[in-house]
């Protein structure tokens, strides 16, 4: 039976970061309770499903207080059957939890925390308008360790304006000194809808971004981390299983505003409007805003393109057997052009992105669709 990953979106944050294009809103405390009630109603539609991973993301789920977190976990445990080894992740931000909250998370079965640090340098934390400083970021990791979390991911950004190689090195060294099991390193990007995008903010050149990527990658690999996805590194056996399920074309169910699901070759998505999401569910309707049925070739392409994110690569022949369809010649020709250009490589029908390809993977994928 296919493993099902459960994603739950909590769209509230302490403040809105200028680079963010996610569906998230600056703390709207008056919406917290109606939103959780709507989530509860949505979960009932899928009651009884067995899930092997849970990922509570956002937004910043840890803006919820103790009572609301307890309610959130009761929604999960009442409606879903978690496999005994289930990985349960929650995203957190250093300004939103203390030891008591961390212990509640642990007691409710959370076994992985993904902490959005972004930088340990106060200058860049201010630039990114993150609501904490270096000391609080370090304390947050310490609190998670006191609460006995063994699987901690730290998110870090690089390629920030004015940031030089020494400052990036300093940030990665600090991350490594904290002995966490997983690291996600993202180059700053400008996403449509973000404050930076509206202000026509300019990024560093792609060559400079690429050299910084090599720098952070080499530092992490040198310390025993495995680079398993474009932006993700882990110590042995600490890969994020929930995200691996996405990248390997597995099925997942998303609950919450703007959440996406992929099940039985169908892609489904919820409304992006918070008020509409809550009203629909409150009136007894699902909050689905759209659905796309992928034909076998669509499913093959989806799995192939998303699989290119993984350093293990993606086996095209295997996908053709699974989906009972052959990749059209014109797409195959394009893939071989990318190989000649040094963006992809091919070993025994297994295709992988090179480092050069990883830097522009979204563009390569859009040219393959
Ligand atoms: S980047 Fe994260 S913390 Fe910042 S506004 Fe977006 S979801 Fe919230």
Taking residue 360's Cβ as centre, other Cβ atoms within 10 Å add up to 16
Q: What percent of the chain stands above pLDDT 70?
A: 99
Residues 206 and 321 occupy one common structural domain: no
Does residue 149 sit within a domain? yes
Does residue 68 sit within a domain? yes
pLDDT of residue 349: 82
Q: What percent of the chain stands above pLDDT 90?
A: 86
pLDDT in tens, 111-168: 999 999 999 999 999 999 999 999 999 999 999 999 999 999 999 999 998 899 999 9
Domain endpoint, select from 221, 246, 271? 246
Residues 340 and 205 occupy one common structural domain: no
Cis check: omega of the bond before 59, within 30 degrees of 0: yes
Phi, psi of 61 (to 5 degrees): -55, -30
Residues 333 and 241 occupy one common structural domain: no
How confident is the prediction for the chain on average, in pLDDT? 94
Distance (angstroms) between ligand 1 centre and the Cα of 19 equals 8
pLDDT of residue 2: 58
pLDDT at 1 over 60: no
Ligand 1: which residue has its CA nearest to atom 7?
59
Neighbouring residues of 275: CB distance < 8 A, sequence distance ≥ 6: none
Residues 56 and 202 occupy one common structural domain: yes
Q: How confident is the model at residue 171 (pLDDT cuts 50, 70, 90)?
A: very high
Distance (angstroms) between ligand 1 centre and the Cα of 322 equals 37
Does residue 290 sit within a domain? no
For the segment 262-291, the average pLDDT, to the nearest whole number, is: 96
Residues 31 and 117 occupy one common structural domain: yes
Distance (angstroms) between ligand 1 centre and the Cα of 318 equals 38
The answer to whether residues 217 and 356 touch, using CB atoms and an 8 Å cutoff, is no
Q: How far is CA 271 from CA 34, 122, 168, 290, in A?
A: 16, 36, 38, 8
Ligand 1: nearest atom to the Cα of 130: 4
In the numeric block, which tokens belong to residue 301? Answer: 């392409």
The count of domains in the chain is 2
Sheet-wide strand order for 344-347: 314-315, 350-353, 344-347
Neighbouring residues of 162: CB distance < 8 A, sequence distance ≥ 6: none
pLDDT in tens, 197-250: 887 777 788 888 889 999 999 999 999 999 999 999 999 999 999 999 999 999
Q: CA 54 to CA 88: how far, in whole Å?
A: 5
Domain endpoint, select from 246, 267, 287? 246
Q: CA 352 to CA 308: how far, in whole Å?
A: 6
For 342, the domain range is 313-369
The answer to whether residues 258 and 244 touch, using CB atoms and an 8 Å cutoff, is no
Residues 53 and 162 occupy one common structural domain: yes
Burial of 26 (0-12, 13-18, 19+ CB in 10 A): exposed
Does residue 107 sit within a domain? yes
pLDDT of residue 275: 96
pLDDT of residue 50: 95
Residues 9 and 112 occupy one common structural domain: yes
The answer to whether residues 158 and 168 touch, using CB atoms and an 8 Å cutoff, is yes
Domain endpoint, select from 223, 246, 269? 246
Does residue 304 sit within a domain? no
pLDDT at 312 over 80: yes
Residues 331 and 240 occupy one common structural domain: no
pLDDT of residue 125: 97
For the segment 250-277, the average pLDDT, to the nearest whole number, is: 96
Ligand 1: which residue has its CA nearest to atom 6?
20
Does residue 292 sit within a domain? no
Q: For the chain, where are the E strands, in sequence order?
A: 4-10, 12-13, 25-26, 50-58, 81-92, 112-118, 152-158, 182-187, 226-229, 232-234, 251-255, 260-263, 266-270, 288-293, 314-315, 344-347, 350-353
Does residue 120 sit within a domain? yes
pTM attached to this predicted model: 0.95
Residues 92 and 235 occupy one common structural domain: yes
Residues 351 and 212 occupy one common structural domain: no
Residues with CB under 6 A from ligand 1: 13, 16-17, 20, 22, 24, 58-60, 93, 116
Q: CA 257 to CA 261: how far, in whole Å?
A: 12
The answer to whether residues 113 and 94 touch, using CB atoms and an 8 Å cutoff, is no
Residues 90 and 10 occupy one common structural domain: yes
Residues 167 and 46 occupy one common structural domain: yes
Test site for ligand 1: of 58, 124, 257, most ligand atoms within 8 A of the Cβ: 58
CATH code for the domain in which residue 148 is found:
3.20.20.70
Does residue 121 sit within a domain? yes
């Amino acid at each position: 039976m296919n493993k099902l990953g459960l994603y739950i979106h909590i769209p509230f944050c302490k403040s809105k970061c200028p680079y963010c294009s996610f569906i998230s809103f600056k703390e709207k405390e008056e919406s917290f309770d109606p939103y959780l009630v709507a989530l509860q109603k949505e979960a009932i539609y899928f009651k009884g499903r067995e899930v092997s991973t849970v990922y509570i993301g956002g937004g910043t789920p840890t803006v919820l207080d103790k009572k609301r977190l307890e309610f959130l976990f009761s929604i999960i445990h009442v409606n879903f059957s978690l496999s005994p080894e289930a990985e349960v992740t929650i995203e957190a931000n250093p300004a939103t939890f203390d030891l008591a909250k961390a212990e509640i998370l642990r007691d409710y079965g959370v076994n992985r925390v993904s902490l959005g640090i972004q930088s340990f340098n106060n200058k860049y934390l201010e630039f990114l308008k993150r609501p904490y400083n270096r000391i609080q970021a370090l304390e947050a990791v310490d609190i998670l360790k006191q609460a006995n979390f063994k699987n901690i991911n730290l998110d870090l950004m690089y390629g920030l304006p004015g940031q030089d190689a020494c400052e990036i090195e300093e940030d990665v060294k600090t991350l490594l000194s904290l002995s966490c099991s997983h690291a996600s390193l993202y180059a700053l990007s400008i996403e449509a809808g973000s404050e930076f995008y509206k202000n026509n903010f300019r990024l560093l050149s792609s060559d400079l971004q690429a050299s910084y990527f090599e720098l952070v990658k080499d530092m992490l690999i040198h310390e025993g981390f495995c680079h398993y996805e474009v932006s993700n590194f882990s110590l042995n056996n600490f890969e994020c299983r929930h995200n691996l399920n996405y990248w390997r074309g597995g099925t997942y169910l998303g609950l919450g505003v703007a959440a996406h699901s992929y099940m039985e070759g169908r892609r489904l998505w919820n409304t992006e409007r918070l008020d509409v999401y809550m009203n629909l569910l409150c009136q007894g309707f699902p909050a689905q805003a759209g659905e796309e049925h992928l034909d076998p070739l669509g499913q093959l392409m989806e799995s192939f393109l998303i699989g290119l994110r993984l350093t293990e690569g993606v086996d095209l022949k295997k996908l053709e057997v699974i989906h009972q369809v052959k990749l059209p010649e014109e797409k195959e020709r394009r893939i071989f052009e990318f190989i000649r250009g040094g963006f992809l490589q091919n070993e025994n029908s297994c295709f992988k992105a090179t480092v050069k390809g990883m830097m522009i993977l979204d563009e390569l994928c859009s040219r393959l669709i």
